[in-house]
Amino acid sequence: MTRRINAGYLAAALAAFVSASGHGLAQAPSKGADPAADYPNRSVRFIVGFPPAGTTDILARVVAQHLGERWGQTFVIDNRPGAGGNIGAELAARANPDGYTMMMTTAGVSGINPTLYRKLSWSPQNFEAVVAVGQTPNAFVVNASSPHRTLKEFIAAARANPGKLAFGAPGIGTTGHLSGELFKTMAGVDLTFAAFKGSAMVLSDLMTSSGIAMAIDNLPPYVPQIKSGKLRALAMGTPKRSSILPDVPTVEEAGLPGYLAYAWFGLITQRGTPRAVIDKVNAETNRLLALPGTQAKLADLSIEAMGGTPADFNRLIDAELKRWGEVVRKSGANAD
């Protein structure tokens, strides 16, 4: 399922890019005009701070494809991986506040990076929340040949071999990285962190028997290999088990009460973007997320549709900044 969906969105995005590449910039609307009346009247760019095929990229393509078909305009996915999503966020922050550049952000970018990085070229105050799109568990995954069959066994091995086992995640500051730091603190283990540029690279390394000992990452990219028996999921960071992998216990069930680490994704745009444009994108994205077909498609990827108002999303971002900021403080993690 993941391969089919990714291929479809990648093909659609490529076609969209080719179509958009010949267009110049349209003139700004005249003063007093309703900025949302003819929005969009040219191509719209969705910045993704991670490589193709990861959860952030998949969700960006789901929304972009729908909006493009609904409004008859091209929505171009612009992947700008690196620095835990900060490269994409910096680019998005510098864009004109007109609604023609948006970013599919993550819990890592908007909820963690502002406290993990002391010197950022962007700030949460540069952005307006548009809509929360989806959420998914963070999974603890090992190679099927790993001697660790449960999270308790992994913890025991890590305690017996401090600093010798490594966990991988897609970049510094992602929820996978901080989920690992929270895990280290709560389990009392010393693990080495291996940062990758994206989930596809974490997955590739994990598939080799000589790679990282464990991946801590968003669940969706790993589901096909887990179901095929090539990888083994040890635990989920959510309060309840995933309906996709109901036999996999939560981290709490595996012996760490109170552990919580999941990922969320949503659209943001530049502060100063007309409210009417934000509300228009919010309303149409909510309509997409309410469709049974969309919810079924996302559920197949172990993603739960979210939705809600821009204010709802702002509250989530503020709460996550506070929660993950505490994790950063207690763990001593930093990216400088």
Quote the pLDDT of residue 55. 84
Residue 19 pLDDT greater than 50, yes or no: no
What integer pLDDT is reported at residue 213 of this predicted model?
A: 97
Pinpoint the residues of the chain covered by CATH 3.40.190.10: 137-236
Collapsed DSSP state (helix, strand, coil) of residue 256: coil
Nearest CA to 98 out of 20, 57, 43 is that of: 43
> Is residue 13 pLDDT above 70, yes or no?
no
Does 2-16+41-134+262-331 carry CATH code 3.40.190.150? yes
User: Which has more pLDDT, 191 or 240?
Assistant: 191
Task: Please report the pLDDT score of residue 27 as a whole number.
Answer: 42
Q: What is the pLDDT, as a whole number, of residue 239?
A: 87
Query: Start-end ranges of CATH 3.40.190.150 in the chain?
Result: 2-16+41-134+262-331
pLDDT of residue 31: 54
Task: Calculate the CA 251 to chain-centre distance.
Answer: 20
Give per-residue pLDDT as tens, 204-215: 999 987 889 999
* Phi, psi of 294, deg, nearest 5: -65, -45
Q: At what angle do helices 55-71 and 2-20 cross, to 10 degrees?
A: 50
The pLDDT tens digits of the residues spanning 60-91 come to: 999 999 999 999 999 999 999 988 899 999 99
Q: Cα separations (Å) of 292 from 26, 289, 304, 313? A: 36, 8, 12, 22
Q: What is the mean pLDDT of the chain?
A: 88
DSSP annotation of 250:
B
Residue 195, beta-bridge partner list: 169
Is a pLDDT exceeding 90 seen at residue 334? Answer: no
Look at residue 300 in the predicted model and tell me its pLDDT: 84
Q: Convert the pLDDT of each residue in 268-304 to its tens digit.
A: 999 999 999 999 999 999 999 999 999 999 988 889 9
Residue with tokens 């609904």: 70
User: How confident is the model at residue 259, as a pLDDT?
Assistant: 94
Q: What is the distance between the alpha carbons of residues 139 and 180, in angstroms, rounded to a whole number?
A: 10
Fold entry, domain 137-236:
D-Maltodextrin-Binding Protein; domain 2 (3.40.190)
Q: Give pLDDT, residue 153.
A: 97
Identify which of 325, 296, 295 has the alpha carbon closest to the alpha carbon of residue 117: 325
For residues 239-259, give the mean pLDDT: 91
What pLDDT digit, counting tens, does each position of 143-180 carry?
A: 999 999 999 999 999 999 999 999 999 878 888 999 99
Query: 18 Cβ partners below 8 Å, 6+ apart?
Result: none
Mind listing the pLDDT tens digit for each residue in 90-136? 999 999 999 999 999 999 999 999 999 988 999 999 999 999 999 99
Residue 221 has pLDDT above 70, yes or no: yes
- pLDDT at position 187: 96
Specify the pLDDT at position 33.
Answer: 64
- Both structure tokens of 149: 């069959």
pLDDT (mean) for 35-41: 89
Tell me what percent of the residues of the chain surpass a pLDDT of 90.
71
pLDDT category at 24 given cuts 50, 70, 90 is very low
Which whole number is the average pLDDT over 243-264? Answer: 92
- pLDDT of 231 reads 97
Read off the DSSP letter of residue 311: H
Which residues are bridge partners to 78 per DSSP? 47
The pTM assigned to this predicted structure is 0.78
